[in-house]
Amino acid sequence: MTEKTLIRKVVIVGGGTAGWMTAAALTRFFEGLIEIELVESDEIGTVGVGEATIPQIRLYTGLLGIDENEMLRRTQGTIKLGIQFRDWRRPGDVYMHAFGGIGGKLGMLDFHHYWLKARKEGRTDGLWDYSLNETAALAGRFDRLERLGDTPMAGLIYAYHFDASLFSRFLREFSEERGVRRTEGRVVDVQLNGKSGFIESVSLASGERIEGELFIDCSGFRGLLIKEALETGFDDWSLWLPCDRAVSVPCAAIGAPIPYTQATARPAGWQWRIPLQHRTGNGHVYASHYMSDDEAASILMNNLDGEATAEPRLLKFTTGRRKKFWNKNCVALGLASGFMEPLESTSIHLIQTGISRLLEYFPRRGFEQVEIDEYNRRCIYEFERIRDFLILHYHLNERTEGDFWSDRRHLPIPAELHRRMDLFRANGRIHREFDELFTEVAWLQVMLGQGITPAGYHPLADRVTADQLNGFLGNIRRIIATEVNKLPTHSDWVNQHCAATDPA
C-alpha cells in the first residue's frame, strides 16, 4: 500500500451513530464503485445516548432519500423547534435558542436592529415574541410549514428528537440493503505500513484480517485507529469546558411530548430533557472537579418528571478534538474525532459535516496532502466556533451558588469569542463567518438570553418613523399568532404522521 494506491475498499471501524451514518452516506453515493465494510463489536456496544439534533440533519436524511415520517416512526421520533435554556443566566431566567429566523428583514437591516430601536423607545416586547419557532414551541404546535402565511418569511425550521440507537439500526438496514458488508467482531490489532505508516489492515479477535485503502475510525471515545494506532494528538479544552461526565436515565413520558429540548442549569453543570414518543430522555452533564458522581446522580433522579425506566448510566469524557481529523489514510468521525458536551446538540451534526467534507475530498488514487490539510483546516474551524458558542452560555452567567459558575465567569475565554461579544455589545452587530455552524440569529439569542444588551443599534433603523416601526412589529406579531393558532398540536401531528407502532 502506497500513498498512490487506487481506493477500492473503505473499512469503517465502529457501528454507532457515526459508523452507520458514514456507511449509509458512502453507499448512497459510491454503491458499485467502492466496496464498504463495517466492523463492529456487539460485546463492546455503543454510547447509546444522543437524542437531540439540529435542523441540518434534514439535509442528511434528504440526501439519502429517507422518508421522514418513516424514520420518525421507526426511531420513536418527535419534532424539535429549539432548545430552552432554564436558569442559565440566573435562577428563574428562561430563554430559547429557537431555530429559524426572528422577525423579518426590512431593507438591508437584520430585524434585531429595529427591535433594539423599539426597546430604546419604550416598547417592552421580547425578541422571541417575533420568533415563529418559539411561539409554536411554547404553544406545543407543529406542522410542516414552508412559509409564514402569505409572507416571504420562512415557516417552521425543525430538527428531530429520536432514539439514536434506533436511528443507527435504521441506517444499518439502509446500508446493508445497498451492499455494505457488516462484520461482527472485536478489533484487537492494527497493521501499519512500515514505510508510510498508513493503515493496511485491522485484525479481529477471531483471527480474521480486514484490509482496505481508506479507514474510517468510528470506534467512539477510544479512537482505536486515530488515537491508539496513529497516535494523533488531542487538543484538550477542559479549561474552558470543564464538564467531563454525564449521568443519563430515561423516564416514563408524562403528558404530551413538547417540541423542544430543555437544558436546565445545575450547580456544577446542567440537565437535559428530551421528549420522545415512548419515553423522556434525561441526563445530567457535570464537572467532576466540582461535584461527586453520587451527588450528580441524585440531582438527576430528583429532577425527573416521570418514573425512571432504567438504572442511571455514567459516561466519562474529555472535551476537545483530535489535532488531525484526517491522518494518513484514516478519517475519524463521531466520538473518535473529539467531543463537546451536547448543550447545543452538535455531535451528530459534526458527524454529518465530516461525512460531507469527506465526500467533497474523497480520494480516488492515493492521498493528496494538500486536500487532507484542507479537510482538517475546515473541521478545526467548525469545531472551534462551536466550542466558543458553548463557552458563551457558561461565561455570561450571574449565578451566585458555588465555585463552578463563578469560575466560568472569571476564567479567560478565547480571544475570538471576546471579539464577538464586544462587537455585539457596541451596536448589536454579528457576523457569521466561513463554514461556521451557528447563524447570526443563534448568536443573537444566546448573547441576549445570557444578558448582553447592546448599547446601540444600526443607524439605518432610524430611517423608519415610530408609526412605521409599530406597524411593522405589530404586523409580524399578528401574523405569527394567527398562523400558530392554525397549527395542529405537536402530539396530534405525531399521531397522524409518524406514530411508532413498535413499543421499542
Indicate the helix (H) or strand (E) that contains 37. Answer: strand 35-40
Q: Which candidate, 200, 416, 414, 442, places its Cα nearest to that of 328?
A: 200
| Whole-number Å distance between alpha carbons of 96 and 137 | 10
Give residue 345's identity as a one-letter amino acid code: S
**Binding region for ligand FAD (CB under 6 A) out of 23-31, 94-102, 344-352, 451-459:** 344-352
| Whole-number Å distance between alpha carbons of 503 and 5 | 48
Q: Which residue in 78, 219, 445, 450 binds ligand FAD (CB under 6 A)?
A: 219
Active-site hit among 4, 80, 117, 316:
80
Q: Which residue in 119, 169, 186, 323 binds ligand FAD (CB under 6 A)?
A: 186
| Whole-number Å distance between alpha carbons of 42 and 49 | 16
**Binding region for ligand FAD (CB under 6 A) out of 101-109, 287-295, 297-305, 339-347:** 339-347
**Binding region for ligand FAD (CB under 6 A) out of 66-74, 114-122, 334-342, 376-384:** 334-342
Window 86-125: residues binding ligand FAD (CB under 6 A):
none
Q: Which candidate, 333, 212, 246, 255, places its Cα nearest to that of 49?
A: 246
Per CB under 6 A, 345 contacts ligand FAD: yes
Indicate the helix (H) or strand (E) that contains 118. Answer: helix 111-120
Window 128-167: residues binding ligand FAD (CB under 6 A):
164
- Comparison of 312 and 454: residue with beta carbon closer to ligand FAD: 312
| Whole-number Å distance between alpha carbons of 241 and 391 | 7
Q: How far is the CB of 408 from ligand FAD (least distance, A)?
A: 19
Per CB under 6 A, 315 contacts ligand FAD: yes
Q: Which residue in 145, 243, 340, 348 binds ligand FAD (CB under 6 A)?
A: 348
Give Cα separations from 433 to 376, 409, 446 (angstroms). Answer: 17, 26, 17
Per-residue string for binding with ligand FAD, 428-467, x by CB under 6 A? ----------------------------------------
Contact call for residues 139 and 37 (beta carbons, < 8 A): no
Q: Which candidate, 15, 14, 6, 374, places its Cα nearest to that of 225?
A: 14
Count of residues engaged in binding ligand FAD, rule: CB under 6 A: 39
* Count of beta carbons in the 10 Å neighbourhood of residue 465: 9
Q: Which residue in 77, 283, 354, 454 binds ligand FAD (CB under 6 A)?
A: 283
Per CB under 6 A, 317 contacts ligand FAD: yes
- Comparison of 314 and 466: residue with beta carbon closer to ligand FAD: 314
Per CB under 6 A, 347 contacts ligand FAD: yes
**CA angle, 424 then 429 then 435, to 5°:** 100
Q: How far is the CB of 49 from ligand FAD (least distance, A)?
A: 4
Residue whose cell numbers read 446538540: 345
- Comparison of 14 and 104: residue with beta carbon closer to ligand FAD: 14
Which residues, other chains included, contact 243 with Cβ-Cβ below 8 Å and sequence gap of 6+? 268, 269, 285, 286, 287, 319, 341
Q: How far is the CB of 498 from ligand FAD (least distance, A)?
A: 19
Contact call for residues 320 and 338 (beta carbons, < 8 A): yes
Q: How far is the CB of 185 from ligand FAD (least distance, A)?
A: 6
| Whole-number Å distance between alpha carbons of 358 and 331 | 8
Per-residue string for binding with ligand FAD, 26-55, x by CB under 6 A? -------------xxx--xxxx-xxxxx--
Indicate the helix (H) or strand (E) that contains 433. Answer: none
Q: Tell me if residue 120 is catalytic.
A: no
Per CB under 6 A, 10 contacts ligand FAD: no
- Comparison of 94 and 205: residue with beta carbon closer to ligand FAD: 205
Q: Is 264 exposed, middle or buried (0-12, 13-18, 19+ CB in 10 A)?
A: middle
Question: What residues are labeled active site?
Answer: 80
Q: Which residues contribute to the site for ligand FAD (CB under 6 A)?
A: 13-19, 39-41, 44-47, 49-53, 164, 186-187, 218-220, 222, 224, 246, 248, 283, 315, 317, 334-336, 342, 345, 347-348
